[in-house]
Amino acid sequence: MRLRVAVLGAGSFGTTMAHLASFRSPTVLWCRRAETADEINEQHTNGRYLGEHRLSSTLGATASIEEAVRDADVVVMGVPSHGVREVLSGVADSIRAWVPVVSLAKGLEPDTLLRMTQVVREVLPDHPAGVLTGPNLSAEIMADYAAASVIAFENAEVARQIQHIFHSGLLRVYTNDDVPGCELGGALKNVIAIATGMGDGLGVGDNTRAAVITRGLAELTRLGVAMGGRPETFAGLTGMGDLVATCTSRHSRNRHVGEELGRGRSIEEIIEAMNQVAEGVKTSRVVMELGDKHGVDLPISREVYGVLYEGRTAMDAYRGLTRRAAGAERDPG
């Protein structure tokens, strides 16, 4: 029996994952806007987020969230992290018992500091909660470039069943039971991507970019391990892999934010001009709170936070990083 899939959220990644799932499972995509659902059903495109890329003709879309979830065997959350709780709460009475919930969001809840699977467990305590994450840029997946992803659940059998929904010839999906590590790698790397983008906007060069990415990996690993992740997870697809892709790709929203900051634009101007969410902007604030809570020094994240929320410039941030004393490589900073 093929599992029926509901994807909630018709942004770029939600639509991309719904497109892939529809080749193996009956899939319906919930769209906030009725006109988006009509476009997907009639033209098989989502022009607002994916341009002219063609979607599977078997993918259905609806503007009714209850219709999307009522028969689903798997629910995939494709909304930004700050909206996950609200959307889940709205459909809690419509989702059938024990249906697994998969998060695609690479962020943390601002007020509670929770990971998305923790939010799922609070709202739907009897449902298995997991995450699909990795170096997965939607534009490249839709253009049929090869990629790899990770599906993380504590229950290995649930992970294997959902793995088959998304695994294809060009998207290799691996399983992992380190849910905290996989989630945190995806969320924390967005802050480092903003830092890398700032350097690109300033024109600091490839050597500096490599240093920021490498020290950024060490930084997110320290915090991720303090929060329950396994060190080896951060050396894999959901840590180093996602970090490299997000810090270097022209498709990366968070890198774009940093690059524009490096060119002297304000964060308000940058966000106003974007039609998608750059999770790292909100995550930066949460990361600083988590660093204080767990006693972890986060020098790169601190500089990003200063630019986003304290009126500092990208040049100030890079000067701050270069002024830090260099100790042993395993040390913070």
Closest by CA to 251, choosing from 133, 106, 135, is 135
The residues, ordered by sequence, that sit 6+ positions from 311 with a Cβ below 8 Å of its Cβ are none
Which residue in 106, 189, 282, 293 is the catalytic one?
A: 189
Is 293 a catalytic site residue?
Answer: no
Distance of alpha carbon 19 from alpha carbon 235, whole angstroms? 29
Distance of alpha carbon 212 from alpha carbon 192, whole angstroms? 8
CB of 152 closer than 8 Å to CB of 177: yes
Q: Which residues are catalytic?
A: 189
